[in-house]
Amino acid sequence: MKNRNEFSRIISGTMNWGKWGKELSAREMDGLMHQCLELGITTFDHADIYGGYSIEGAFGKAFTGSNIKREQVQFITKCGIQYVCESRDNKVKHYNYGKDYIIWSAERSLKELKTEYLDLFLLHRPSPLMHPQEVAAALGELMESGKVRSFGVSNFTPSQIALIEKEIPVSANQVEFSLTAHSVMFDGTLDDVLLKDRLLMSWSPLGSYFREKNEQRKRIKKVLKSLKKKYKASTSQLLLAWILRHPAKTYPVVGTTNPDRLKESVQAVDLHMELEDWFSLLTASQGHKVP
């Protein structure tokens, strides 16, 4: 496993950089990469499907012109989802974890990102048809050749990880984890991270708070009102501080392209939330006191 300390604690998620979001130009991507580095954000999270299989290529082109040294940054990407879009002849969304496809996908990502190696390569979502020996055979070749330095999964349960780990060690799991989506704390996923010393990454770390206006949000907002004054922090910082408080030591994948919000995210790492404040927010999210 690549030393987790080599990844920045706040990870920049690239899903919204292109067609699925801000549609940044190469020049804008270049500028955003430099702004991330200035803030200490050195890790960039990708997936082959982002932007309909287009973001890796756009990012790689911008990175090539950025004059940023490869050893200054870490690239994470994912494979496996067969997405229905113009660039793929897929009739239905499905998953492919055959040996040949995994190797092909990793090599395509290397080409698109304009790099000789991936710091971390993830299986994007579990498939009912995945076979541990197929996965192990593919990753064994990729890691032996130096094309992939660490291997992990995304959105896997502990039993699904155990299936893969029957043949090959799994060093990381990227899951949905936030104040409004915290089932991973109670279904064994975060226990598995701690037990096996895996790298934990959280996608959508702010949850649905800014997207949905419902009773859960009203309850959380009421608690946050006093905590914002107490900690002199923004709502986003407190939402991040809540997941950062968990002993599994999550690495949030932050999707914003706004430099000010990125700076806020980095500052949240140093915000230590007190125990009862943490449980006050959990209670607000769940709508009832803990058992």
Q: Which two tokens stand for residue 225?
A: 């009102």
Q: What angle do CA 185, 187, 188 make, to 5 degrees?
A: 80
Distance CA(256)–CA(150), nearest Å, equals: 26
At 200, list the tokens. 């934990």
231 is catalytic: no
120 DSSP β-pair partners: 76
> Exactly one of 50, 97, 209, 251 is catalytic; which is it?
50
Distance CA 141, CA 66 (A): 31
CB neighbour class for 129 (10 Å; exposed up to 12, middle 13-18, buried from 19):
exposed
Residue of 65, 45, 64 whose CA lies nearest to 55: 45
Active site residues: 50
